């Protein structure tokens, strides 16, 4: 552990118990027991549009629709780098992919990074992680030892396994591979509910993260009764899905929605368990996802993300904390980006935010209902390794109204999402929008400057982090020695 990291973690225990709260240590110990619990539920590849409350004409999400009415609904929540590992690393660290080197899948999260689990644990929380991890990079089926769990103590997790009917996990200090019983999201939810019951009346507050695999493909393994709710002939497709994509989309969509509705049931059960345990008011409950799915929009085939269109970058984001904002919810258009999540949760939990965090604390919007304000959320693709004919390196900003995307060869996309929600009218280069384009480009440059990113070709970042690209185009993982050399030195 490097010195700055150790010093911060030592300080945080003291900060939460005395200085930060302005109370004596004895008073503060009593306060610790009243700090909020945090239950963070997130899906994989669940795009923002695919809920009832967001207006999807097909999907059934009754539990989420109810939760949305009681929550702060961040309508413009985006994924900083719409891919599994980069999102997870940014969520855990509150830092950007170009800062941590976590800009592609299957690279190891460096031990020196201060992570969510460590920060909450040091502040006196019990910590728990259930489900998909995907920031270890010693192989997708390998055992993840306690020292690579970034501060999470209760542990039932796997690096990456989307075989939902029989997915694996490890627990405790045992390298014995175990399997969830039946559809993994149901079994993980059962485990999460038991964890909540067991810790509801404990002396310490808890942070529980549940990282679900669905609705990420494969879609055909959604529970049958849920998939059967979506006969393809009844599904309505968005106007930006062209005729040539129709067949491929209708093949995937019943299972995709089936997974969504199965997860909706899981989330409803967690909500009910918090109520039954008597801790719903003093628990910060979040529902979100790591990124979306293009699902045929703009002629990008289903299962692909990484692009800067809303289908890929926008995610659901509900935050409910009744003790602070009351029983009713509200809608917020101010963008929230992945690195903003950790500082916001830390602030809501009265934990000091380390200076290394790059995201912004948006807790004031939740605590005081402080008015809407516009922000530019920075989104990036550092190393395109799928669909490389169309997908190039890009940097993008998403404001509450506009999307602007810059590639190395110049401006690529500009949308007014208010009048063009399906992003079918690219305004780049149009004389009447030249001033808007110029302003958005300045805002993008200003966001890049904040994190010290000069937007260079992917080769620069691959070399900087010492990643070796295999002949098939992936970065090699699973070789412990190589992984250690790359990121754990």
Question: Where do contacts with Ca ion occur on this chain (CB under 5 A)?
Answer: 44, 84, 290
Q: Where are the beta strands (DSSP E) in 115-269?
A: 126-132, 154-158, 168-171, 178-179, 206-215
Nearer to Ca ion, 264 or 293 (CB): 293
- Rank residues 290 and 482 by Cβ distance to Ca ion and give the closer one: 290
Nearer to Ca ion, 191 or 290 (CB): 290
Cβ neighbours of residue 417 under 8 Å, at least 6 residues apart? 310, 401, 402, 403, 423
Which of the following is catalytic: 81, 115, 134, 160?
Answer: 134
Which CB atom, from 12 or from 41, has the smaller least distance to Ca ion? 41
Closest distance to Ca ion from the beta carbon of 305 (Å):
7
CB of 162 to Ca ion, least distance (A): 9
Whether residue 134 lies in the annotated active site: yes
Radius of gyration of the chain from its Cα atoms, rounded to whole angstroms: 22
How near is the Cβ of 153 to Ca ion at its closest, in Å? Answer: 25
Q: Pick the closer one to Ca ion by CB: 290 or 358.
A: 290
- Angle at CA 37, nearest 5°, toward 33 and 43? 165
What tokens appear for 267 in the block?
């989330």
Catalogue the E-assigned strands of 59-191: 72-74, 77-78, 126-132, 154-158, 168-171, 178-179
Q: How many residues are listed for the chain in this entry?
A: 489
Phi-psi category of residue 137: left, alpha or beta, with phi > 0 → left and psi -120 to 50 → alpha:
left
Instruction: Closer to Ca ion by CB, 84 or 144: give it.
Output: 84
- Smallest gap from Cβ 339 to Ca ion, in A, equals 17
- Closer of 193 and 291 to Ca ion (Cβ): 291
Q: Burial letters for 2-27: b for 16+ Cβ neighbours within 10 Å, e otherwise?
A: eeebeebbeebeebbbbebbeeeeee
> Which CB, 290 or 352, lies closer to Ca ion?
290
User: By C-alpha distance, which of 78, 93, 36 is closest to 337?
Assistant: 78
Contacts of 263 (CB under 8 A, 6+ apart): 43, 46, 185, 212, 214, 215
CA atoms within 13 A on the CB side of 408: 15
Q: Which two tokens stand for residue 383?
A: 């190393």
Least distance in Å: CB of 267 to Ca ion? 18
C-alpha–C-alpha distance, residues 167 and 294, integer Å: 25
Q: How far apart are CA 40 and CA 207, in angstroms?
A: 8
The CA distance from 46 to 293, in Å, is: 7
β-strands 168-171, 178-179 pairing:
antiparallel
298 included as an active-site residue: no
Q: CB of residue 456 vs Ca ion: minimum separation in angstroms?
A: 25
Task: List, edge to edge, every strand of the sheet that includes 330-332.
Answer: 178-179, 168-171, 154-158, 126-132, 206-215, 37-44, 283-289, 317-320, 72-74, 330-332
Smallest separation, CB 132 to Ca ion (Å): 8
For the CB of residue 438, give the shortest distance to Ca ion in the complex, in Å: 34
Q: Are strands 126-132 and 283-289 parallel, antiparallel or unpaired?
A: unpaired
Shorter beta-carbon distance to Ca ion: residue 44 or 161: 44
Residue nearest Ca ion, Cβ-based: 84
Annotated active-site residue in 81, 84, 160, 266: 84
Q: Which residues have a Cβ under 8 Å from the Cβ of 247 and sit 6 or more positions away?
A: none
- 3-class secondary-structure state, position 45: coil
**Residue matched to tokens 């899906």:** 43
Output the smallest distance, CB 433 to Ca ion, in A: 33
Catalytically annotated residues: 84, 134
């Amino acid at each position: 552990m490097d010195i700055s990291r150790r010093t911060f973690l030592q300080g945080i225990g003291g900060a939460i118990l005395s200085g930060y709260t302005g109370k004596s240590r004895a008073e503060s110990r009593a306060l610790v027991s009243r700090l909020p619990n945090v239950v963070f539920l997130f899906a994989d590849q669940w795009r923002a549009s695919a809920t009832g409350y967001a207006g999807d004409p097909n999907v059934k999400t009754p539990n989420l629709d109810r939760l949305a009415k009681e929550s702060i609904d961040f309508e413009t929540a985006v994924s900083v780098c719409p891919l599994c590992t980069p999102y997870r690393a940014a969520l855990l660290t509150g830092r950007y992919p170009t800062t941590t080197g976590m800009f592609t899948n299957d690279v190891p999260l460096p031990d020196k990074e201060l992570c969510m689990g460590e920060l909450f644990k040091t502040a006196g929380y019990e910590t728990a992680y259930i489900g998909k991890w995907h920031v270890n990079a010693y192989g997708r089926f390998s055992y993840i030892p306690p020292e690579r769990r970034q501060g999470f103590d209760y542990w039932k997790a796997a690096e990456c396994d989307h075989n939902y009917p029989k997915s694996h996990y490890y627990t405790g200090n045992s390298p014995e591979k175990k399997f969830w019983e039946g559809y993994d999201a149901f079994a993980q939810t059962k485990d999460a509910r038991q964890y909540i019951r067991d810790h509801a009346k404990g002396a310490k507050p808890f942070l529980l993260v549940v990282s679900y695999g669905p609705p990420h493909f494969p879609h055909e393994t959604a529970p049958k009764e849920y998939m059967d709710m979506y006969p393809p002939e009844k599904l309505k497709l968005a106007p930006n899905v062209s005729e040539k994509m129709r067949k491929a989309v209708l093949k995937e969509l019943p299972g995709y929605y089936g997974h969504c509705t199965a997860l909706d049931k899981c989330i409803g059960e967690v909500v009910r368990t918090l109520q039954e345990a008597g801790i719903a008011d003093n628990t910060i409950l979040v529902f979100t996802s790591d990124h979306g799915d293009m699902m045929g929009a703009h002629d990008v085939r289903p299962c692909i993300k990484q692009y800067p269109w809303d289908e890929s970058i926008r995610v659901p984001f509900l935050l409910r904390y009744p003790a602070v904002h009351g029983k009713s919810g509200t809608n917020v258009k101010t963008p929230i980006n992945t690195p903003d999540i950790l500082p916001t949760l830390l602030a809501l939990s009265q934990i000091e935010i380390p200076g290394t965090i790059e995201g912004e604390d948006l807790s004031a919007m939740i605590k005081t209902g402080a008015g809407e304000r516009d922000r530019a959320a920075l989104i990036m693709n550092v190393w395109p390794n799928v669909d490389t004919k169309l997908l190039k390196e890009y940097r993008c900003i998403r404001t509450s109204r506009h999307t602007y995307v810059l590639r190395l060869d110049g401006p690529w996309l500009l949308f007014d999402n208010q009048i063009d929600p399906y992003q079918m009218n690219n305004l780049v280069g149009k004389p009447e929008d030249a001033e808007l384009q110029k302003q958005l480009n300045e805002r993008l440059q200003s966001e890049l400057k904040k994190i010290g990113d000069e937007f260079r070709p992917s080769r620069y970042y691959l070399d900087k982090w010492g990643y070796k690209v295999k002949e098939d185009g992936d970065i090699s993982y699973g070789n412990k020695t190589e992984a250690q050399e790359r990121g754990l030195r």
